[in-house]
Amino acid sequence: MRFIPTAARPYVVRFGQTGVVAATALLAMAAAPLGAVGAPPPADDLSVPAPPPVTAVARPAGPVTRKIVFEAPLKGYRINSPFGLRKLSIEAKARAHKGVDIAAPKGTGVYATAEGQVVRAGYQAGGYGNFIEVKHPNGMSSLYGHLSRIDVHTGKVVAAGERIGLVGSTGYSTGPHLHFEVRRDGIQVNPAKVVGQSFNVKTRMPDLPPPDHDEFVM
C-alpha cells in the first residue's frame, strides 16, 4: 500500500473483505447442485397438468431477408487474365474481356459461385465452348466457359459451391482455363468485384405466390 490516508484504510479493508465474501458466495452457488439454491419446489408440482404440446408455429408475416455470398468458382487458382480491355497475341486489336480467366488443369472441378438455377447449359462453337449459366437469387447470373464437361442441365437448381462441370479448353481457347463471367441485368460486370461479396436476398414463404424475380439489394 503506497499512499492511503490512515482514515481511509478501514474502508479499503472492509471493501476487500466484502469482495471476498461475495466471491465465496458465488463459488458456493456455482458448486451447489441445481435446485439446491432457493425455495423448495412447490408441493402441488405433480397436481398441475402439463401444458399441451405446441402444435402451431407462428409464421413470419412476409418475406425475410438472408444473405448469399459469391465464392470463387475454382478452388486454389488465381485470375491470370482480368476483366476489361486486353489484347491477345493472336488478335490484331485490343477488345473488352467480359469475364476473368482462371488457368487450371483440364478436369479441375468448377463450382457454382452461389446458389441458383441453371438457365443455360450447352455448347457455343468458336466462343464459350461448353458453358453453363446460373441465375442467382440476387438477380445476377454467372457463366462458366470452355468446360471439358458439363455436369448439370438447364433448369437444375444448384447449391452454393456445388460442382457443375470441369475445366477444359473448348470453344475459343488456347489452353485449359475457366472463363468466368458475372452479369447484372444482362451486362457483364467485373467478377473480381463480386466474388467475396455478400448480397441480401428475400426468402419468401412457401404459401406466397412465386415472385417474377427476387429483389436485388446491393
Residues interacting with Zn ion, by CB under 5 A?
99, 101, 179
DSSP state of 217: B
Smaller CB separation from Zn ion, 101 or 115: 101
Tell the smallest beta-carbon distance from residue 146 to Zn ion (Å). 8
Helix (H) or strand (E) holding 21: helix 9-31
* Contact yes or no for 144/164 (Cβ under 8 A): yes
Tell the smallest beta-carbon distance from residue 156 to Zn ion (Å). 24
Phi-psi sector, 125: left (phi>0), alpha (psi -120 to 50), beta? beta
Would you tell me how many other CB atoms lie within 10 Å of the CB of residue 36? 9
Give the integer Cα–Cα distance in Å for 8 and 11.
6
Tell the smallest beta-carbon distance from residue 97 to Zn ion (Å). 6
Strand partners, 177: 103, 168
Smaller CB separation from Zn ion, 101 or 214: 101
Residue whose beta carbon is closest to Zn ion: 179
Joined together, the cell numbers standing for residue 21 give: 465474501
Smaller CB separation from Zn ion, 117 or 188: 188
Tell the smallest beta-carbon distance from residue 157 to Zn ion (Å). 26
Tell the smallest beta-carbon distance from residue 71 to Zn ion (Å). 19
Smaller CB separation from Zn ion, 70 or 128: 128
Name residue, grid cell 448469399. Answer: 68
Tell the smallest beta-carbon distance from residue 176 to Zn ion (Å). 12
Give the integer Cα–Cα distance in Å for 133 and 125.
16
Smaller CB separation from Zn ion, 120 or 204: 120
Smaller CB separation from Zn ion, 179 or 183: 179
Name residue, grid cell 488456347. Answer: 174
